[in-house]
Structure 1
Amino acid sequence: MKAERMSRAPGNRMLRSKRSLAGASWLGLALGVVVAGTAHADAPAQPAPDSAPKVEEIIVTAQFHTQKLQDTPIAITALSGANLEDRSAGNLSAISDSAPSVVLRPASAAFGDSITASIRGLGQGDFDPAMEPGVGIYIDDVYFPRLTGANLDLMDVDRVEVLRGPQGTLTGKNSEGGAIKFYSKQPSGDTDGFITATYGSRNRINLAASADFKVTDTLFGRISGAFASQDGYVNVYDYGCKNPGSGVASTVGGSNCLKYKEGDVGYQAVRGILRFKPDDKLDATLSGDYTHDQHHNAAQVLLYANNPNPNVAAAPGVPFDSRFICGAFCNYDVTGAPAASFVAGDIPALQGMPFQATSGSELTTYTSWGVSGKVLYNLTDTVKITSISSYRAFEDKFSVDSSLSPAPIGFGNNDITDWSWSQELRVNAKLNDMINVTGGGYISDEKAVYYTLQDIRYVAVGVSGPICAAIGGVNTPTCPVYPLQFIGNDPIQTKSKGVYGDIEIKPIDNLTINGGLRYTNDYKSYTFVRLNLDGVTPSTFLGALNGYTAPPFNGNRVDYRFAVDYRFSPEVMAYASVASGYKAGGDGPRPFNPAQAIAFGSESVVNYELGTKTDLFDRKLRLNLDVFYLDFKNAQLTLLSCPQYGGPGPCALPQNAGNAHSKGVEAEVTLRPVAGFVIDSSLSYQDWHWTCVNPQVVGLAEGPCSNDPSVTSLINQQPPGFEKWKWNVGAQYDAELAQYGSLTPRVDVSYQGSQIGNVAAPAPGSPSAIYGQLDAYTLTNARLTWRSAKRDLSVALAVTNVFNKYYYTSKFDLTGAGAGVIAGSPGRPREWAITVKKTF
């Protein structure tokens, strides 16, 4: 899809050197405005002066041909690069503030350099290559296959568009929740460009530049680059140094005890594009990009700690408990320090079986590159052929200390390498003034290898007293046995093929009918490698899985879309649509015992939608509304506690949890009451209801999906990544200062609804209920921008999180698995930045 704005509104020093309900009444008022505005539209139109404020026009090709946004029967949020800059949005996750029903958040440190992404409650939060994102992310029409590295820097972006609802018949890859599309500024031969420099809180430095150049009259180029560096905001202290006499040895000297800071930034990226346009028939682009992102682990703090297992004691007589909770912006992470070797539990049967020390790096390093080519050829005035080819590769390396303390609860090294290529070919034909037809095909092939070293020392048999003594264990509430240590080095292959067709018919002037079909075949294979830490011999605990190739997933699916829209007047259009989508199944990629090496099936959705798009009061007010109903089946949810699958201990098992119905309403408003003044806002409300739940997923006997309340009450009443309420309001005023330029203040307020922690419903009063859920929060950002009279120079002062709200972007709860740990990722505190931008 293409869109074009026709007009727009007037850590440490070493590393750095290296690189809620009120919305219901609001919606009622908005609905009233639609009625009033429609009545106003029936009155004789009065000519308006050229200077009258109007909402800008947006052109899209969501249905493969040029349309105004207001003529497209799809729920779409479109933001230009200038809009994003005005809102101080620097990366993908910041976009979700402006888009209803969209949740994009940085993942916890346990998931490396990745994000969680969902639209209308459908999506994915797991970076593992065995899992499929439910939200399609595209860069210049090229599908971005993974959540790893997906928190993209908005470098030289022309626009970002968010399509809500299944998009399988309208995009390259089947995307059940929706699609997010980035479009880079394309070379034009105009020899324009810009350079920006930013300095801000905690030694923040951002540099970005872009230049457009002409090689010949038919060959143009554009090159862009970005650099970002900033100190972190969560202090990592040495516990022994901070607490002398605790029994835990110190590993640093001095009185400061600070080792480094988490939540820092170290980012570099470059992109180059060549465009060949010899005539009106051919338009071909070749682009390449490279990204290197290195920083300490994502910011995290310990919220709950309780595990008496002596295997995980920080030192003799120093159990893992609340003493290791550091504070709101600090922890005692020891990711970069080795965990000692030991003989587990002093169990006589295990004497002579020492377990090795393990260690990793506190740095997360992500490197990616890609090349793509896009060719548009006008075969005739009415037939156009488009070819999109791409190859991408990345590597993400990170280590995780589960306890954020010297206690060796659990530790993991991770290294993911991924290679993928894709090809899409489509033909668009305008048969006559009544009919537009599109047909196309998509193919992709992806190979990944997921290396991991796991040292999980909280594993215990869960017995006490005489039974524990009989097996020679230590008499504790969780009689310890040997820990789970292994190396995994798993190859994964994913292939996808699809063909699709779309037809649009306009039988009369104001009525449009659209229909589409898609056939998809998805193939996925997974091979398990499970070795001891010597990297040679099969794992003592999981050797039965070593070399095991699971039965491949091979699924076929037909999806559809049907939409009809009617324009009642030049100001008001209404539409109705129904569309289906799905997400492929696969194999559980993290079995911590052989019983967990099991498959999970595909999930699917049918989305029913009614909407209206309006431009009222001489286009001073744009109000777009939609209501939707989802019929969701075989939801893929990842269990972090699953004793029903092979016994107690670690778990990260995706399974099909059940079926659900969900309904919601979304609204987007843009108002220009007077010249220079803009108010924009959005609101979404969604209600989720499980219609049946798989009993085994909630720890009961295996059986058919059940709607019995005694079963459905055992699962959290909404899925991960779901927010019931979400809204934002922004306002800016462009004050002209004659020869002195202009001054533009802007304020944005956004509300993010609460989210659940784990899939299982927490028992009232349990640690999971108290510490493991994500509370709602409201953030305020402000920006003041001065622009020169020629608009070629600007200086902006931005403050994010103005009121210094303390909130969490994610939480990681391992209490159900027996670890006794809950960690949270605090959001960024208040920050300020000054940016100077020069365009030429």
Structure 2
Amino acid sequence: MNRTNKKFVNLTPQINRSLCALAVAAAFASTPLIAQETAPAAEKKGLERIEVTARKTVESLQEVPISVTSIGGLELDEKGIAVLTEIQQFSPNTTLQNSRGTNSTLTAFIRGVGQQDPLWGYEPGVGIYIDDVYVARPQGAVLDLLDVARIEVLRGPQGTLYGKNTIGGAIKYVTKPMSGDAELNIQGTVGSYAQKDLKVTGQMPIVEDKLYVGFGYGNLNRDGFGEYLISALPNQDLENYNKELSAARLTLEFTPSDDLFFRLAWDKTTDDSNAKGGYRLLPSLLTNAPVPDSVFDSYTSLPTENKVELEGISLTANWDISDTLALKYIGSKRESYSPTNIDFDNTPLDIFDVPAIYDDNNTTHELQLNYRGDGMSVVSGLYMYDGESCGQFEAILGVFGRSLGLPGLTREVSGCNNSESTAAYVQGSFDLSDKLSMTVGARYTNEEKQANVSNGLVYGPVYPESNWIPGYTRPDGNLVPPVLGTDTNADGVLDAPKSKSWSRFTPRVGLEYQANPDLMFFASYSQGFKSGTFNPRATVNEPAANPEIVDSIEVGMKSDWSDNLRVNLTLFSLDHKDRQYIGVIPSDDASVLNQYLSNVAASSAKGIEAEVTYVVNDNLTFDVALGTYDAKIEENNAVPPLLGISNTPEYTFNFAANYVLETSIGDLMFNANYYYRDDYRLFEDSDLLQQNGYGMLNMSVSWQHDDGHWYASLHGKNLSNKEYMVGGYNFVGDNGDGTYTPGLGGDNTLIGYFGDPRTVSLTVGYRF
């Protein structure tokens, strides 16, 4: 492998796109041109009825006029899907990947809309929800799946029912409801890289038919895929890409009467996995450590310890006022804390080290009034969000500082970006005739942001927590000055938070035509917005960036063409305006990190999303998911200019097969899927970090005894052992002639983070 090639990509052969097209064509080949009358869904033996809550009410997937993928708990178990990021394989035009630096921080894009930078204050473009409770920050959002009923992926703006920060879409994590019976499930997994997982879930009635308690606990451990070849500090754990995570849930459900229901739920996740070290794609100019042989190996001058903590509590109350009217309340409080060590340059020298702390907490309240009657259904509500997002990071440029005769050099940035948001929404569906219906919705949101940022140079190595590095303490009197605020004190120093408010009306309107009980056509227009915000890296008293707006049009079809063929198809176009872009002001000074945030770009995109299920017989099922994406930069005032859309390939394709073999000791379920992602770039303003198209093969077999107690499964993932990038850092200039200009810290810092290699795991469980 040529480590200094101009474009740093996985050098596996690119799969011929015509093969993907041929496979999809074959899947559609048996589709009749005219829909046939079929029996009601409840009587069908082939296709199952899939229920979703995409519109905040329980509906069949085939009745929902939006592009949505739902994967149930049984399917998750059979496929061995263990973490949220694996869902991207089964949802077209969806990117869910581990961010750089930690196992638990999420990079999420849907239809090319998302947010790559996980710094406090930046808002996501894809909303994550746990039982309808919003997870506001990407830290901890790579959820390990524990006691889950299903995962829903809603593609396209969800600004009416879900509000701000869902301009790309929303992902809903729905936990299993109580059955009312005493249950206990113990499950253990062993696998590659010394994987050792234990999961215990269960429930028990306290008062029969009234009060239940449920619980879940998972302890997940794995050695690293690679190692830190050199660490500048003694007594460090040198595993890289390891896993050391625990997750717990407690749920109390109370049903005092047939029309009243209460649920109190608590969850906590603690990820003590090491900080992830990236792979140097260019040799360092300042150290002679060679480029590692493995993409999972690295070097570091920081401690390898790392932590991501996520904890939340929620209360749900539901009152069925009548057969048609229901009142629902959802309240929550969530907190996250993450002290992290990120070695940007990934060398044994302190060329560009970034230790940081993230500290977030938020409270939400939502009150819904829902009506469902003959020919009409209405979902309405009031929503309030109050969140505080704070942090601090140190950009330690030690080598550069010492070259100036200083004890070191650190750019310190700290601050908070707080938000208060209130909203009112209503969405109704109305029958215009026996076959034609209309959906109309609107949401009004008012939001206020307050932010303060301190940013400046400290002449010495500084760490957010002095005990991280033995012998280092924060120099007294070197607190950096505030740069972002509104008022000044007598000394002319900014000392009050800067604030700004926005309000937004986001509509949705759609038409649905039910040609027959098994064929629906729909068309819709929807709008969503991502919150305005202040720059958490501000170096001057700059204004806030305004919200981003996405307008989307969808035309689609939901169809069960026969008892064994389901074809769901969506064509979409979107206009993404006022895009917030994080730019860098060029400087010849290697210590300068002048980043600004402003609305300087606009883009448009169009594409197709197709999901096909073909039940060959009672034992064999095929599934196809295809996404196409064609984007164009419409406005480009960014510096440096945008070159394209990040983290979004032009094609995503998945072909899956499921076969059930009936035996005398229980059923054997064989699953296999082939997933293909076309070329994509990691950063919008650079072609240096690009990933060639790659394919991934996964296979599994699961077994369950006829008595329902014992079960087991064997899963092989990425069996072809493809190397593919999911994140990176780019602090180097491309001169266009095979040479590079050193960036911040004075080195060629071009770093890649990679997805999981080939793994095999065996799970055995027992249900009491």
Equivalent residue, structure 1, for 2:656: 730
TM-score, normalized by length of structure 2?
A: 0.88
Equivalent residue, structure 2, for 1:440: 381
Equivalent residue, structure 1, for 2:577: 633
Q: Give deviations 1:768-824, integer Å, cap 9, x for gaps.
A: 2xxx22232211111112221223211211111111112222221111444421111
Flag the 1:459–1:752 CA change in 2: closer, same or farther, 3 A: farther
Contact 2:420–2:448 (CA<8 Å) still a contact in 1? yes
CA distance in 2, matches of 1:651, 1:33: 58
Flag the 1:63–1:551 CA change in 2: closer, same or farther, 3 A: same
The letter for the 2-side match of 1:635 is: R
Matches within 5 A, 1:755-766: 755-762=680-687
Contact 1:743–1:787 (CA<8 Å) still a contact in 2? yes
CA distance in 2, matches of 1:544, 1:95: 39
Equivalent residue, structure 1, for 2:88: 96
Q: Give deviations 1:26-45, integer Å, cap 9, x for gaps.
A: 44455554444x35x15xx6
The letter for the 1-side match of 2:518 is: E
Give the alignment partner of residue 20 of structure 2, picking from 18, 23, 36.
23
Give the alignment partner of residue 614 of structure 1, picking from 559, 576, 579.
559
CA distance in 2, matches of 1:576, 1:48: 23
Equivalent residue, structure 2, for 1:399: 341
Please report how far the alpha carbon of residue 570 of structure 1 lies from its aligned counterpart in structure 2 after TM superposition: 2.1
Equivalent residue, structure 2, for 1:73: 65
Query: Secondary structure in 2 aligned to 1:215?
Result: strand
Flag the 1:46–1:542 CA change in 2: closer, same or farther, 3 A: closer
Equivalent residue, structure 2, for 1:389: 331
CA distance in 2, matches of 1:829, 1:511: 50
The letter for the 2-side match of 1:666 is: E
Contact 1:743–1:786 (CA<8 Å) still a contact in 2? yes
Please report how far the alpha carbon of residue 617 of structure 1 lies from its aligned counterpart in structure 2 after TM superposition: 2.1
Contact 2:228–2:277 (CA<8 Å) still a contact in 1? no
CA distance in 2, matches of 1:56, 1:389: 33
CA distance in 1, matches of 2:619, 2:42: 15
Matches within 5 A, 1:663-702: 663-694=606-637, 697-698=638-639
Equivalent residue, structure 2, for 1:16: none
2:549 aligned with 1:604: yes
2:292 aligned with 1:326: yes
Query: Secondary structure in 2 aligned to 1:131?
Result: coil
The letter for the 2-side match of 1:327 is: D
CA distance in 1, matches of 2:669, 2:296: 37
Please report how far the alpha carbon of residue 164 of structure 1 lies from its aligned counterpart in structure 2 after TM superposition: 0.7
CA distance in 2, matches of 1:222, 1:535: 50
Please report how far the alpha carbon of residue 174 of structure 1 lies from its aligned counterpart in structure 2 after TM superposition: 4.8
2:511 aligned with 1:585: no
Equivalent residue, structure 2, for 1:314: none
Give the alignment partner of residue 623 of structure 1, picking from 567, 588, 591.
567
Larger Rg: 1
Q: Give deviations 1:483-521, integer Å, cap 9, x for gaps.
A: 641443312211111111112111222111110000111
Contact 2:238–2:304 (CA<8 Å) still a contact in 1? no
Contact 1:783–1:796 (CA<8 Å) still a contact in 2? yes
Please report how far the alpha carbon of residue 826 of structure 1 lies from its aligned counterpart in structure 2 after TM superposition: 2.1
CA distance in 1, matches of 2:651, 2:267: 37
The letter for the 2-side match of 1:388 is: I
CA distance in 1, matches of 2:54, 2:708: 32
Give the alignment partner of residue 194 of structure 2, picking from 199, 203, 207.
203
Equivalent residue, structure 2, for 1:9: none
Flag the 1:456–1:277 CA change in 2: closer, same or farther, 3 A: same
Query: Secondary structure in 2 aligned to 1:278?
Result: strand
Equivalent residue, structure 2, for 1:213: 204
Flag the 1:174–1:265 CA change in 2: closer, same or farther, 3 A: closer
Give the alignment partner of residue 799 of structure 1, picking from 698, 701, 716.
716
Matches within 5 A, 1:35-114: 35-36=32-33, 38-39=34-35, 41=36, 53-109=45-101, 113-114=104-105
Structure number with higher strand proportion: 2
Flag the 1:749–1:555 CA change in 2: closer, same or farther, 3 A: same
Structure number with higher helix proportion: 1
Q: Give deviations 1:685-719, integer Å, cap 9, x for gaps.
A: 0000011211xx235xxxxxxxxxxxxxx4212x2
Flag the 1:576–1:206 CA change in 2: closer, same or farther, 3 A: same
Equivalent residue, structure 2, for 1:453: 394
The letter for the 1-side match of 2:187 is: T
Please report how far the alpha carbon of residue 81 of structure 1 lies from its aligned counterpart in structure 2 after TM superposition: 1.0
CA distance in 2, matches of 1:544, 1:394: 24
Contact 1:637–1:759 (CA<8 Å) still a contact in 2? no
Give the alignment partner of residue 537 of structure 1, picking from 477, 493, 509.
477
Matches within 5 A, 1:67-466: 67-109=59-101, 113-171=104-162, 173-217=164-208, 218-238=210-230, 260-307=238-285, 319-320=286-287, 323-329=289-295, 331-336=297-302, 361-430=303-372, 432-457=373-398
Flag the 1:524–1:141 CA change in 2: closer, same or farther, 3 A: same
The letter for the 1-side match of 2:547 is: S
Equivalent residue, structure 1, for 2:692: 775
Q: Give deviations 1:263-297, integer Å, cap 9, x for gaps.
A: 00101111011111122210110011122110111
Equivalent residue, structure 2, for 1:716: 643
Flag the 1:393–1:61 CA change in 2: closer, same or farther, 3 A: closer
TM-score, normalized by length of structure 1?
A: 0.81
Identity %: 26
Of 577-586 and 488-497, deviating more is 488-497
Give the alignment partner of residue 656 of structure 1, picking from 579, 587, 599.
599
Equivalent residue, structure 2, for 1:528: 453
Contact 2:269–2:309 (CA<8 Å) still a contact in 1? yes
Please report how far the alpha carbon of residue 606 of structure 1 lies from its aligned counterpart in structure 2 after TM superposition: 0.5
Question: What number of residue pairs does the alignment pair up?
Answer: 718
Please report how far the alpha carbon of residue 753 of structure 1 lies from its aligned counterpart in structure 2 after TM superposition: 2.6
Q: Give deviations 1:568-608, integer Å, cap 9, x for gaps.
A: 122211100000001012121123x448x553221101010
Q: Which runs of 5+ in 1 are unaligned?
A: 1-19, 240-249, 308-318, 337-360, 461-472, 700-713, 763-767
Give the alignment partner of residue 808 of structure 1, picking from 725, 730, 753.
725
Equivalent residue, structure 1, for 2:4: none
Please report how far the alpha carbon of residue 458 of structure 1 lies from its aligned counterpart in structure 2 after TM superposition: 6.8
The letter for the 1-side match of 2:662 is: E
Equivalent residue, structure 2, for 1:340: none
Flag the 1:200–1:61 CA change in 2: closer, same or farther, 3 A: closer
Which portions of structure 1, spanning 4 or more consecutive aligned residues, are displaced by more than 6 angstroms? 46-50, 250-253, 479-483, 540-546, 644-648
Equivalent residue, structure 2, for 1:825: 753
CA distance in 1, matches of 2:509, 2:679: 33
Please report how far the alpha carbon of residue 654 of structure 1 lies from its aligned counterpart in structure 2 after TM superposition: 3.4
Matches within 5 A, 1:488-499: 488-499=413-424
